[in-house]
Amino acid sequence: MKKVVIHEVGPRDGLQMEKQTVPLERKLSWIEKVLTAGIDVVQIGSFVNPEKVPQMAETDELFRRLGKKPALGRPVLSGLVLNERGLERGIASGVELFCMGVSASETHSRKNTGMSVDEALHRVIAMALEARRAGREVQVSIQSAFGCGFEGEVSEARVIEIARTYVEAGLTRISLADTAGHAHPDQVERLFSALLGLDATIEAACHFHDTYGLGMANVYAALGMGVTSFESSFAGLGGCPFTKVAAGNVPTEDVVHSFQRIGLCSNVNLGTLIDVARDVAAYFGRELPGRVHKTGPLAYLARPRLVEA
């Protein structure tokens, strides 16, 4: 079976919309548990204006604390940046993988960054190359790749044009993000087929929201097309605060539970992920979208599989 990467984005995308502020020590406890579960990459936070996104005010401190732990054998620590100042903060804080991107929607781009798509693309490529020069890994993304909450349909040709610009700049770790949750499996297959056809060195990632109930279906469509990195959030928490209808991410524990049924993610401790999801739900005092933290995992997942002759 292929090796897949699980990129936990709960500490960033999961928390960024929450009005109830989570204390630093509670965030730290959730992140540390995820770090011990065998997840490949954990997105600790974003380096944004704390007045606009208060939940991200302690991102620098979280990186400083977590970066003191031995790196050998632990997940990669990722962080989101939107501008050059954020990149400077991220480099100083010890970010190992920088995530940055542009929207394929002009309206979403301006609401999210205050820039046009072309302006944002020019700046992101410059920042990505600067991060590379600083010795850091980089993943670039295309947000609203499958549709926009404000504009509706987004040109698939425009998405691939942006991806081609990344590739021409030498940036081949590329995520297609379903910011508004409009994606459906046929569209996922088309876009990832076109993306992976641009260059043999592309490492494709996906980021799906479950706004209209197709999150897991889209995950499997992406898996079938050769996508190897999957971004998800504990308990399905989260959503983009700069889209029209915000909804949660695909839940990490649901993705891992499902993948383990087909022989993937066998190194991940599902029980630890479920514990984190339950703690997150209890903290916010409401039912969250994830399923497996409520139902519990299938008991026979831990048993050897029977192979028919």
Helix axes 24-36, 270-284, angle to 10 degrees: 160
Which pLDDT belongs to residue 107? 82
Residue 80 pairs in a beta bridge with: 46, 99
Q: pLDDT tens-digit profile of 241-291?
A: 544 445 689 999 999 999 999 999 999 999 999 999 999 999 999 999 999
Q: Which positions ≥6 away from 125 have C-beta within 8 Å?
A: 140, 165, 166, 169, 171
Mean pLDDT of 40-46: 97
Q: Whole-angstrom Cα distance, residue 295 to residue 288?
A: 12
Mean pLDDT of 150-174: 96
Residue 240 has pLDDT above 80, yes or no: no
Considering the chain, what percentage of its residues have pLDDT values greater than 90?
A: 79
Q: How confident is the model at residue 58 (pLDDT cuts 50, 70, 90)?
A: very high
Least confident of 68-72, 74-78, 171-175: 68-72
Q: Whole-angstrom Cα distance, residue 168 to residue 125?
A: 10
Which CATH code for domain 5-302?
3.20.20.70
Which pLDDT belongs to residue 244? 46
Residue 307 has pLDDT above 70, yes or no: no
Q: In this structure, how many other beta carbons lie within 10 angstroms of the beta carbon of residue 121?
A: 22
Q: How confident is the model at residue 108 (pLDDT cuts 50, 70, 90)?
A: confident
Q: What is the 3-state secondary structure (H, E, C) of 51-118?
A: CCCHHHCCHHHHHHHHCCCCCCCCCEEEEEECCHHHHHHHHHHCCCEEEEEEECCHHHHHHHHCCCHH
Mean pLDDT of 109-129: 91
Which pLDDT belongs to residue 308? 42
Mean pLDDT of 1-26: 91
Does the active-site annotation cover 240?
A: yes
Residue 151 has pLDDT above 90, yes or no: no
> What does the mean pLDDT of the chain come to?
91
Mean pLDDT of 179-188: 95
Q: How many CA atoms lie within 13 A of 122 on its CB side?
A: 4
Mean pLDDT of 93-110: 93
Which pLDDT belongs to residue 115? 87
**Global pTM exceeds 0.85:** yes
| Contact (Cβ atoms closer than 8 angstroms) between residue 17 and residue 239 | yes
Which pLDDT belongs to residue 71? 62
Which pLDDT belongs to residue 259? 97
Which pLDDT belongs to residue 110? 87
Per annotation, catalytic residue among 99, 148, 206, 240: 240
